Amino acid sequence: MSEETSMIALEIIGNAGDARTRYMAAMKKAQNGEFEEAEKLIEEGNEFILKSHKVQTSLIQAEAKGEAKEMGFLIVHAQDHLMTNMLLRDVIENFITLYKRTT
């Protein structure tokens, strides 16, 4: 795998990881009834997901133009990391809604 492709993968992983940190912190805030703070953390996490998603989209666009990057384990891991954190966000948003209902 080229250095460029490795850096792309690490950018996806890094941003998705930063999003995960925000989402987990949002869950803790919601558990404590701190809903405004939780929502702010979700929004911050979404910004990191957006950055990851833009990088992912650039890979898709490159492939569509016939300029596909070499796909190795690191890219697969990056894709998995991004998608897992997007799912985590959805689950945590539902938990926050449930916490709001019980307060």
Residues recognised as catalytic: 77
The radius of gyration computed from the CA coordinates of the chain, to the nearest angstrom, equals 16
H-helix or E-strand spanning residue 77 = helix 73-101
Residue with the two structure tokens 């939780």? 38
Side-chain half-sphere CA neighbours of 27 within 13 A: 12
**Taking the CB of residue 51, how many other CB atoms lie within 10 A of it?**
17
What is the secondary structure of 56-72 as a DSSP string?
HHHHHHHHHTT-PPPP-
